[in-house]
């Protein structure tokens, strides 16, 4: 006797009907019900071949909802997550790299420029004071 054991415990699903899980079985029954309803409703309007394709196309979405999982989410959870992320709360994610070294250099350069400007202002102020003093001495001498 051989028993199949999943490596991941979260991937385990219990088989209920015909090797299907309860979810898969219910969605399969829903797909069959949709196909039967479409057959009886559309039988007077279409031929057998066209009607069979319409029944298949009507049943496929229900069958897909029961069997597909994406990233561990069932189909309806995935559809809800997609609608939420794309329609209800869309975000444009922009990649803007930050070079910390470059920012540090810019900060250092601006600090140096500020110091140089301050020192130039101080030199100009000292020159102006010297000129004023000279002007004052000349003025006093002329008087």
Between strands 73-74 and 69-70, the pairing is antiparallel
φ and ψ of 66, to 5 deg: -80, -25
Domain ranges of the chain: 9-77, 90-143
Summarised one tens digit per residue, pLDDT across range 38-55 is 999 988 888 889 999 999
Q: Which residue do the tokens 């309860």 mark? A: 22
Q: Which pLDDT tens digit goes with each residue over 70-93?
A: 888 888 888 898 898 888 887 777
Q: Is the pLDDT confidence value at 63 over 70? A: yes
Return the residue matching tokens 């110091």.
115
């Amino acid at each position: 006797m051989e028993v199949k054991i999943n490596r991941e415990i979260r991937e385990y699903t219990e088989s209920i009907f015909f090797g299907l899980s309860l979810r898969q079985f219910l969605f399969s029954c829903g797909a069959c019900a949709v196909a039967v309803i479409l057959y009886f409703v559309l039988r007077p309007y279409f031929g057998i071949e066209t009607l069979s394709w319409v029944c298949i196309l009507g049943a496929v979405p229900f069958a897909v909802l029961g069997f597909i999982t994406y990233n561990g989410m069932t189909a309806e959870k995935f559809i809800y997550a997609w609608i939420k992320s794309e329609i209800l709360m869309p975000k444009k994610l922009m990649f803007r790299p930050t070079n910390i070294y470059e920012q540090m250099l810019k900060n250092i350069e601006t600090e140096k420029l500020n110091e140089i400007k301050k020192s130039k202002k101080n030199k100009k102020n000292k020159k102006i004071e010297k000129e004023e003093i000279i002007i004052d001495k000349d003025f006093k001498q002329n008087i």
